[in-house]
Amino acid sequence: MRIEPLEIVLYSDELEGALKNIDMPQNIRVRTARFEPGELVVDVSLFGPVPLYPTFRVSVVQAKGRTISLKVTAPLASHLINTLMSKMGSHLPPGVSYLGNGIISLDVPEFSNGAISSIDIEGIRFQDDYAVMAIKAIDLNILAMSDTGAVNRMKSV
């Protein structure tokens, strides 16, 4: 199925709910997530011998074609980001690459496990409490979506 053009709006509370439901290591928890002008702000708890409560800021480096590149920063914790990402490198899902210096690249069709066969992203904007993704065209594979559980989690069809 082809859709063109398309604009997707995601609100802070929707994103926060999704992030809190992602399986994470036991010692990491997302406390809050919100969109602010030009960036996504994620407050995290890292439990260990000395608990840490860093705030990560995510900005769009580039969102064009099939790829989204994001820069993740944390005041006084750039070394922490590089350390975490280098440890997670082998555990990143298909389509996600860590390029170093806090930059993460996402190949959307590869990340979607076949649910998106092609996409032409025009851009992403972070506003106060929401984000907007403008898409010129997207080709969806409905059968792959049901296989990945995105459409049919209960396998009733």
DSSP assignment of the chain equals: -EE-SEEEEEEHHHHHHHHHTS---TTEEEEEEEEETTEEEEEEEE-SSS-B--EEEEEEEEEEBTEEEEEEE-TT-HHHHHHHHHHHGGGSPTTEEEEETTEEEEEHHHHTTTSEEEEEEEEEEEETTEEEEEEEEEEE-HHHHHHHTSS-TT---
* pLDDT, block means (10 residues), the chain with 157 residues: 95 96 86 97 91 91 97 75 67 86 92 93 97 97 70 42
Q: Note the pTM of the prediction, 2 decimals.
A: 0.80
